[in-house]
Each structure stands twice: as structure tokens, then as C-alpha cells.
Structure 1
Amino acid sequence: MSQNKIVNALSYLSIVFAPFIFPFIVWLVTNSHQEMHETAKHAFLLHLIPVVLTILTLMIVGITGLTTKNSRLTGLMFAALIVLVGLVDLIMFVYNLYLGIKILITED
């Protein structure tokens, strides 16, 4: 198994142990290996989606809570957005695992 294949798979599988940090580091240091560079960039962007969605959800709920002073509306919005973001986070987690395992089991 080649080193490139392992690093590429770890870029996706790092969602378990170092989300977005490992692919970002690989992306920065692999300018000479185009395949690893592109895979790390793709994994980094996929790992950022749940983080950005979570931050946006907290901002939306916070702004709604501060501007409307309606706790019922804020609570319902929070519950709905948390379920939606949680579902997207789970899908992204499984998709990253799938991509990492796919790289490991494909033969060159």
C-alpha cells in the first residue's frame, strides 16, 4: 500500500480523531504531490461543513433570541435547526468514512 494512498485515506478518516486539522496540515505540506494535495483539500472542506453549520445555527438562534424576546419561537427554531444540523453532521461523518475506506480498499 502506497504512502499516498494511506495519507489520502487518513485525510478523510481523520473526521474521527482530528477533524479538519489533519487534512489542513496535509494540504499545506503536499504542494509537490498533486493527488494528496487535492484529496486533503477536499477532505478539509468536507470537514468544515459541520463546523460552519453549527456556528451558523448558534448565531441564528442567538440573534433570534435577542431580537424577538420570544422564548417559544427561539426554542422551536433551536430544536428544528439542531435536528437538521445533526442530520447533516451525521451524513457528512458517514460520507467521510465511506470515502476513506473506499480509498483503502481500491486496488491500484
Structure 2
Amino acid sequence: MNLAALRHIVENNPELIEENVPERGNSAATIGVAKLLVGNNGNVAALSENQRYHYETYIRPLVESVPCDGIFSADAEGEHDGCIGNGIIDDDDLEGCYILDEMLCQECQSLQARMDADD
């Protein structure tokens, strides 16, 4: 789990967590679990079974193996998602991606920077 990214989400954009919980779900409970994890330095083992469900289902997808949005449009067949890298944002870059609101892997970030420089 990327604790720095989770801390950023909890402190600056808890709506990301709320949006990840279905309408019938309990987003307040999920945010509570996220805050608990931040307060416990990401200690998932300290969570109850119910809290762990919230973590695994709604929080973990935001802080582990987060997919790159890609810089190109996805193809019509859905085979390529527009990412030129491995499709996953590197853990070291995840917090920065949330800060910049650009969910791009290193390869896509580099290409985007080169394309922006050419403009």
C-alpha cells in the first residue's frame, strides 16, 4: 500500500474514496477505514474483517497497482488502453500523480512532457 498516496487522498481528496464506493455502500465507513490506516501507518493487520473488506474493495485499488490512464485514446476493440508503458503507475510516482491529477506511468509522463515541449 502506498501510504503517502493514501494520506494525500484522505487529507486532500476524500471524494476519490467516496466515488469508489457504490451508491448502496457506506462511503463514510470506507473513509473512516482510510483514516484509520493513515493513523496506524498502513497496518492492515490491525483491521477487523469488516474494515478489511472496505480496504480490499474500495481503498486498495486507489493505492496499489493503479492503472495508467494512458496518453492516447483506447482502441475500439479495447485491446490497447492508450498507455505506452506497462499499464501501472509506479509506486514512487503515485502520490505525485494524485497531486497533479494526472494518472500516468513514467513512460506516459515522459512522452507527454516531450509532446508538450514540442508544442
With the length of structure 2 as denominator, give the TM-score of the two structures.
0.28
Is the helix fraction higher in 1 or 2?
A: 1
Q: For the pair shown, which has the larger CA radius of gyration, 1 or 2? A: 1
With the length of structure 1 as denominator, give the TM-score of the two structures.
0.30
